[in-house]
Amino acid sequence: MEREGYRVDIAYDGEAALELFANQKYDLVLLDWTLPKLDGLEVCKQIRQASRVPIIMLTAKGEILDKVIGLEVGADDYLVKPFDQRELLARVHVLLRRLPAGLAADSWLQYEELRLDREKLLLVCGEEAAALTANEYKLLELMMKKPHNVFARTYLYEEVWGEMPGYNDRTVDVTISRLRKKLLELSGKKYFQAVRGLGYRLGEQP
Amino acid sequence: MEREGYRVDIAYDGEAALELFANQKYDLVLLDWTLPKLDGLEVCKQIRQASRVPIIMLTAKGEILDKVIGLEVGADDYLVKPFDQRELLARVHVLLRRLPAGLAADSWLQYEELRLDREKLLLVCGEEAAALTANEYKLLELMMKKPHNVFARTYLYEEVWGEMPGYNDRTVDVTISRLRKKLLELSGKKYFQAVRGLGYRLGEQP
DNA sequence: TGCTAGATGTTACTGCATGTTAATTATATC
DNA sequence: GATATAATTAACATGCAGTAACATCTAGCA
């Protein structure tokens, strides 16, 4: 998946999966059926309580009944092991293609009273809303997916602007500054903390 | 399918399928790969020119490559014969659950004073009306389904023109420009906003 | 088969919004 | 309190969007 350009997090048991999912936002979930602690079926159910994110179930159990259960429980697709990598990629493609603008799964991201509308490119807080430019949006989306995480400037720059070579600029700072201004006007709060020598974080440190 | 409460039309060859599809609106298409006159792949492609209706391909060919082709050509799912009825039903459920509002809906779309007649390819505003070309229509329909949403150029291109290779981003711009002209003559208003670095939105941001 | 008209796609040039740079002020850490 | 790092502001230039004009394609018709 990473070779195809996707960003990936991995959980090695069901509980870890749910915890990851609770703390960050994902565009798609690949879910094994047989997992330690909590099986994939249960994980799928619980994710479906909170989100409509696309879910693909992977499993060795080829019996038909299982497939039906998996799909009825809320999975969007189902692959039986051993599967072909290209088929997996093709199915991932299909599910992600359904998303408008190739941007995101859930139509909005939330952190505290901030809501980022991923379809309308809008930052909403209570009654008010502010427009974002493309780069501002990308940066904010990235950081709202993992609130409280510290992001290095170089990482932010790479993800939003691409490239790296000869990066000695204050581009990230300026964009953060503009975002801060918009956030401040909306909510009166300072959401971005600078982390000296590293970069930035959204929200306080836990 | 009928026992489950669905209304069903059946075509016994590819041409009949396309003819049925041209004359009626469907919520979902079950498509056999091997068909007389026009094979399923071709039917799938042609349907995709005109519609985003969910398509499930059915086939005896189990080879992986075929699956990939089927999905990349625009099918939403794929079942290998012999399949279990319950699995088919489950997958049908999944796809219908995702059905975007407005697909099987009325014969015209409305946004503010604009009305798009989906059968006559006509754009009506008050007393006046303008004819639209096929591409203009597809683009406008897509964007009127989700007013205020931001659509990436690449997304628009894929949906209206299909495929990516050799894609010229000015094509979308020019079509938007032509639409703008027609809309301006009709209503005196500028409906399309450009979103720098991404694409376009219909209407202002809320 | 060739003619015509309308639709569609491409190119090229202009203006300007946005992103970037640079310079200055503020703040944190030792 | 010194120094290094971050924040802010303003000016600038880049590269994107708008559109006219040209080229190509397609359908309808004789």
DSSP letter for each residue of A73-103: TT-SEEEESS--HHHHHHHHHHHHHTSGGGT
Is there a contact between A101 and B67 if contact means CB atoms under 8 Å apart?
no
Q: What angle do CA B26, B32, B36 make, to 5 degrees?
A: 105
Residue of A nearest to B202 (CA): A120
Output the average pLDDT for chain A: 83
Range in A147-156, A161-170, B125-134, B153-162 with the lowest mean pLDDT:
A161-170
The protein side of the strand C contact, defined by CB less than 7 Å from any of its atoms, consists of: A 133-136, 161, 169-171, 174-175, 196; B 131, 133-136, 161, 166, 168, 170-171, 174-175, 196-197
Judge whether B43 and B32 are in contact, CB under 8 Å.
Answer: no
| Three-class secondary structure of residue A168 per DSSP | coil
- How many Å from the CA of B185 to C1' of C14? 24
Phi, psi of B60 (to 5 degrees): -90, -20
- How many Å from the CA of B106 to C1' of D22? 40
**pLDDT above 80 for A3:** no
Integer CA distances (angstroms), A84 to A89, A173, B67, B175, in order = 9, 44, 10, 40
- The model's pLDDT over A160-192, given as tens digits with 9 standing for 90+, comes to 887 666 566 788 999 999 999 998 888 888 889
> Which residues make Cβ contacts (< 8 Å) with residue A149, sequence separation at least 6?
A143, A201, A202
> Which residues make Cβ contacts (< 8 Å) with residue A145, sequence separation at least 6?
A24, A25, A26, A109
Q: Pick the more confident residue, A109 or A98.
A: A109
Judge whether A29 and A21 are in contact, CB under 8 Å.
Answer: yes
Task: Burial-class residue B48 by CB neighbours within 10 Å (0-12, 13-18, 19+).
Answer: middle
Inform me whether the C-beta atom of residue A134 falls under 8 Å from chain B C-beta atoms: yes
| Three-class secondary structure of residue A27 per DSSP | coil
* CA gap A154, A199 in Å, rounded: 8
Is there a contact between A98 and B94 if contact means CB atoms under 8 Å apart?
no
**Beta bridge partners of residue A151, listed in sequence order:** A200
Output the average pLDDT for chain B: 80
- The model's pLDDT over B12-40, given as tens digits with 9 standing for 90+, comes to 888 888 878 776 677 889 998 888 888 88
DSSP B177: H
DSSP B99: P
| Three-class secondary structure of residue B130 per DSSP | strand
**Residue whose CA lies closest to nucleotide D20 C1':** B174
**Beta bridge partners of residue B59, listed in sequence order:** B80
Q: How confident is the model at residue A63 (pLDDT cuts 50, 70, 90)?
A: low
**pLDDT above 50 for B105:** no
> What pLDDT score does B103 carry?
42
> What pLDDT score does A179 carry?
92
Count Cβ atoms below 10 Å from residue A6 Cβ, excluding itself.
Answer: 12
